[in-house]
Amino acid sequence: MIVGQLEAKKKVNKFKNQSIHYFENAVRLIEAGHAEKASELLWGTVSQALKAVAASRDIELRSHRQIRDYAMELSRTLRDESIRQAFISAQSLHSNFYESGLLLEDVVMGADDAKKLVAKLFELIPGEEAPPEVS
């Protein structure tokens, strides 16, 4: 493996690990009843997974807009409407951190959407599989 490939793999793994870490923490916050904080971590889960996929393709996502555009591009390219829908769900979770409008049950449903999307995204990374089941 050449140096550039090693660096790319490190970036992919960094984003994947952060995505998983955020999800695990979001689950703990949901269990504690903290909908707003969990919402933001679920957004982070999805955004970091998208960054991992992009990094595996030598694409760097630096802004919310770039993350959104990349999610929409993946949805179109793969002809998978569930990617777009789950991303929109994640965006509403992100807004909930600031607006506090969602109920805890809404955040739980958003967590399920995020979990499914992240598994799908990780499968798009060459040589990778979906993460182990997180409770």
Q: SS3 string of 42-102?
A: HHHHHHHHHHHHHHHCCCCCCCHHHHHHHHHHHHHHHCCHHHHHHHHHHHHHHHHHHHCCC
pLDDT in tens, 39-87: 999 999 999 999 999 999 999 999 999 999 999 999 999 999 999 999 9
Kindly state the average pLDDT of the residues 13-26.
97
Assess whether pLDDT exceeds 50 at residue 135.
no
Spacing of C-alpha 90 from chain mean position: 8
Q: For the whole model, what pTM was predicted?
A: 0.89
CATH topology of domain 3-122: Four Helix Bundle (Hemerythrin (Met), subunit A) (1.20.120)
pLDDT in tens, 104-133: 999 999 999 999 999 999 999 988 655 545
Q: Distance (Å, rounded) from C-alpha 87 to C-alpha 43?
A: 9
